[in-house]
Amino acid sequence: MIVLIFLIVLSVLVLIHEFGHFIAARIFGVKAEEFGYGFPPRMVGFVKDKGKWKKVGPKDETSYKNTIWSMNWLPLGGFVRIKGEGGEDKVDDKDAFQSKPIWQRILILAAGVGMNWLLAFAIFVFIFNLGAPAILQDLPAGYEVKDKSVRITNIMAGGPADKAGLLVGDQVISIAGVTPTDFEQARTEIAAQNDKAFDVKVLRDNKETDINVQPEFIKEINKQGIGVAMADVGIVKFGFFRSLVLAAQTVYSYTKEVLFAFGGMLRDIIFLRKIDQDVSGPIGIAVMTGQVAKQGIVALLQFAAILSINLAVVNFLPIPALDGGRVLFLIIEKIRRKAVAHKIEAGIHQIAFISLIILILLVTIRDLGRYGGAIIGGLKNLVGM
């Protein structure tokens, strides 16, 4: 199930990205030779030829007037093959990428990341308008709340609550028999117990459980306590127009954070010759996708939106082999009034691509060490071992 969810999320993000290139290409009259789900080799394809849909075989590369829509054997996202985008000498063909003005080519390349930002924006609008779990503190005006509850948001490692078995996310039903109306009352009730052991009734996985906790003296707060942080949590819903504003602000905020994070990662790689422990490759993302999926559809949608922003930012950095790198060469072409030689540009893109693959492999190897147990467990569940 984890693998399936990961493939669905990844496929949607990549296909949306490629669809952006496709739409922009068609707007400017550039032919999209093939739009495929997954990566070659081709399993099967279909093309509208002379008014009728025709089946296209794995090795059929006949030049059709219309786009080939294909299913491919490697189910990881997809691709769009645009005529002349690879630098082929097709400047004389009116429907070729190379024949178009530089500003149009830049927009075609930028349309992919634009669609990823648009997807993230649409997801956040949906979440804000539908209603999502949130801590009821420092929220912007104009919201509705339902299903308000007191939840544990943090637990001190090795503290009384940790020893007793309380978990982050537990909904607090009662403390020593008293049902708190908010987290402030919950804190007051805990403090009132002083050094006496008491029961905390929590709701976890739709089951109520009584957990006995023995308060201890905690040096960090210089008094008796159980070592928990709590907050009022509820399903927060905003109006449609307010959701538009909040979604735009959220996309901007995450974009800025991703840029700073990626800049820090590049700094570590170049100057410290190491990869930050927080950086995850495909395996790490797959495991995180599975973990987030267990929290519900809203959490999964939010995670997908953040991944979409990551894909947009990283893909538009001025790094060869990525969309941003190709835009950089077009800007150089505009300044020089002459394109960089195709062999030179292709060589630079190839070297950068190989470097990126090596980086992904290194992160993947590290992920195997970090998440190997979760992966093996998932595979066992998949095959029913």
pLDDT (tens digit per residue) in 255-264:
988 888 777 6
> Residue 226 falls within a domain, yes or no?
yes
CA distance 70 to 58: 9
- With pLDDT > 90 as the criterion, what percentage of the chain qualifies? 38
Does residue 99 contact residue 92 with C-beta atoms inside 8 Å? yes
Question: From the CA atom positions of the chain, what is the Rg in Å?
Answer: 26
> Residue 165 falls within a domain, yes or no?
yes
Mean pLDDT for 360-383 is 49
Amino acid identity, position 1: M
CA distance 184 to 198: 18
CA distance 93 to 99: 7
Domains of the chain: total: 1
Looking at residue 216, which CATH number applies to its domain? 2.30.42.10
pLDDT at 289: 62
- Give the model confidence (pLDDT) of 169-180 as tens digits: 899 999 999 999
pLDDT at 278: 53
CA distance 73 to 61: 17
- Give the model confidence (pLDDT) of 275-332 as tens digits: 555 555 555 555 666 666 566 788 788 888 988 998 898 889 888 888 999 999 999 9
Which domain range does residue 203 map to?
143-237
- Give the model confidence (pLDDT) of 100-153 as tens digits: 999 999 999 999 999 999 999 999 999 988 888 778 877 777 788 888 889 998
CA distance 308 to 279: 16
At 377, is the pLDDT very low, low, confident or very high (cuts 50, 70, 90)?
A: very low
- Phi first, then psi: what are they for 70, rounded to 5°? -125, 155
Beta bridge partners of 209: 202
pLDDT at 177: 92
- Give the model confidence (pLDDT) of 142-175 as tens digits: 788 888 889 998 899 888 999 999 998 899 999 9
> Residue 39 falls within a domain, yes or no?
no
- Six token digits for residue 49: 């030829």
- Phi first, then psi: what are they for 179, rounded to 5°? -90, 110
The neighbour count for residue 271, using CB atoms within 10 Å, is: 8
> Residue 151 falls within a domain, yes or no?
yes
> Residue 137 falls within a domain, yes or no?
no
The pTM for the full model equals: 0.76
Has residue 369 got a pLDDT over 60?
no
Token pair 């708190």 is at which residue?
180
CA distance 154 to 169: 8
Q: Helix, strand, or coil here: 220?
A: coil
> Residue 331 falls within a domain, yes or no?
no
At 343, is the pLDDT very low, low, confident or very high (cuts 50, 70, 90)?
A: confident
pLDDT at 274: 57
Q: Would you list the DSSP string of 183-195? A: HHHHHHHHHHTTT
> Residue 114 falls within a domain, yes or no?
no
Q: Strands 68-82 and 216-218: what pairing? A: unpaired
> Residue 334 falls within a domain, yes or no?
no
Mean pLDDT for 189-216 is 91
